[in-house]
Structure 1
Amino acid sequence: MQQPTSTALNIVIPSYRWHTQMFDNMLKDINAEDAAKRIEGRTNNITWTLGNLVNCRYWLANVLGIEDKDPNDALFKEGKAYDAAATYPTLEEFKKHWHSISKKIYEKLLTVTDEELNEAYEFGMSVEFVEENKLNMVGMAVDRCSYLLGQLGLLRRAVANVGTSYDIDKSIGY
């Protein structure tokens, strides 16, 4: 594994790369019909959850100074609720955007400095024990991705009766 400029990210980068791998595993053996199912009509579905996950990566990219914008931001920004009337992208579109932005973020995580990570970044939640800086926003983004991947694992089992594989694609180096 390449070493990041900031040693503060040594613990973050393995999780980040694991999440990148797990995204593809969450798509494995899931079709568009299953991805659109909602449990008892009350939960988010796989499609929405994948979109929110991609949106989270774009948010992290923006925190780190990468200017790319999520082409589906209007559907997911700030955890926007599932909209049954909306037209959501395909699973393949999500996968394309996920890998495009994830590679750019990984490259930035390797080169970002401690000085940049310590820059103030207003999150807007005013949690007294969370300093609002870029380093903590990286941590918050990794946490959010972990949460969403867990939701996807549960949804896969509930709507398609398939478990999650932990296969690693060695061609994905980010």
Structure 2
Amino acid sequence: MDTPTSKKLDIIIPAFRGHSQNFLMVLDGISEEDALKRIEGKTNHIIWMAGNFLDMRYALGALLGIEEEFEFKDLFFQGKSLDESLEYPSLQQLKDAFHKISPLVYKKLLEVSDEELDKAFPMGMNIDFFPETVLNFIGMCIGREDYLCGQIGLMRRILGYEGLKYEFDKDLKY
């Protein structure tokens, strides 16, 4: 495993890499048609969930100084609500964006210093037990990714796909 500059990220680095694997595995085999299905008009569709996952990756990238813009930001920024009147990207377009941003963010996570992680990062939460720092925002993004992979996994099962198989790609280094 790669060693981060900051020991504070010892738990984040494997989580980030695990989420990269989970994201690809949970989308594996999902058809473009099924990726746009909602359950009884109550759920978000898989495209929306995958787009929100990517919004987290791009937010992490921006936080760490990466100037890549998420092509579909207007559809997903900060968990923007699903709007069925809009045209959403394909799963393949989202996977391509994933492979573009993820290695860049991973590299930055390995390089970020304790000082940078300790910097204030106002989120407007105003919760006394949650310091609004760069490190805690990274943790929030990781948590959101985990949540979204779980939601997509549930949608897989509801749509009749096999459950997630944990067959990790040892060559995926981010």
Task: Please tell me the residue identity of whatever aligns with 1:9.
Answer: L
Task: Please tell me the residue identity of whatever aligns with 1:135.
Answer: L
Per-residue deviation, 1:4: 0.5
Per-residue deviation, 1:161: 3.3
Rounded Cα–Cα distance in structure 2 between residues aligned with 1:152 and 1:27: 8
TM-score of the pair, normalised by structure 1: 0.97
| 1:19 partner SS | helix
Q: Does the 8 Å contact 1:30/1:160 carry over to 2?
A: no
Rounded Cα–Cα distance in structure 2 between residues aligned with 1:145 and 1:40: 24
Aligned to 2:95: 95
Rounded Cα–Cα distance in structure 2 between residues aligned with 1:36 and 1:64: 32
| 2:116 partner SS | helix
Rounded Cα–Cα distance in structure 2 between residues aligned with 1:157 and 1:5: 39
Per-residue deviation, 1:126: 1.5
TM-score of the pair, normalised by structure 2: 0.97
Per-residue deviation, 1:162: 2.3
Matches within 5 A, 1:29-44: 29-44=29-44
Per-residue deviation, 1:103: 0.3
Rounded Cα–Cα distance in structure 2 between residues aligned with 1:124 and 1:48: 25
Per-residue deviation, 1:148: 0.5
Rounded Cα–Cα distance in structure 1 between residues aligned with 2:104 and 2:49: 22
Rounded Cα–Cα distance in structure 2 between residues aligned with 1:34 and 1:68: 29
| 2:135 partner SS | helix
Rounded Cα–Cα distance in structure 2 between residues aligned with 1:127 and 1:75: 28
Aligned to 2:131: 131
Rounded Cα–Cα distance in structure 2 between residues aligned with 1:20 and 1:47: 16
Task: Please tell me the residue identity of whatever aligns with 1:116.
Answer: E
Rounded Cα–Cα distance in structure 2 between residues aligned with 1:35 and 1:105: 26
Point out the more displaced range, 63-72 or 35-44: 63-72
Rounded Cα–Cα distance in structure 2 between residues aligned with 1:131 and 1:161: 40
Question: What does the per-residue CA deviation read over 1:44-89, in whole Å, with 9 as the maximum and x for residues that have no partner?
Answer: 0111100111111101111112121111110001110111111111
| 1:52 partner SS | helix
Task: Please tell me the residue identity of whatever aligns with 2:126.
Answer: S
Per-residue deviation, 1:171: 1.8
Query: What residue ranges of structure 2 are gaps of 5+ in the alignment?
Result: none
Per-residue deviation, 1:163: 1.0
Aligned to 2:164: 164
Q: Does the 8 Å contact 1:116/1:134 carry over to 2?
A: yes
Query: What residue ranges of structure 1 are gaps of 5+ in the alignment?
Result: none
Identity between Structure 1 and Structure 2 (%): 45
Per-residue deviation, 1:106: 0.5
Rounded Cα–Cα distance in structure 1 between residues aligned with 2:5 and 2:26: 31
Task: Please tell me the residue identity of whatever aligns with 1:37.
Answer: K
Aligned to 2:63: 63
Which runs of at least 4 in structure 1 moved beyond 3 Å after TM superposition? none
Aligned to 1:144: 144
Aligned to 1:8: 8
Per-residue deviation, 1:160: 3.1
Task: Please tell me the residue identity of whatever aligns with 1:59.
Answer: A
Aligned to 2:49: 49
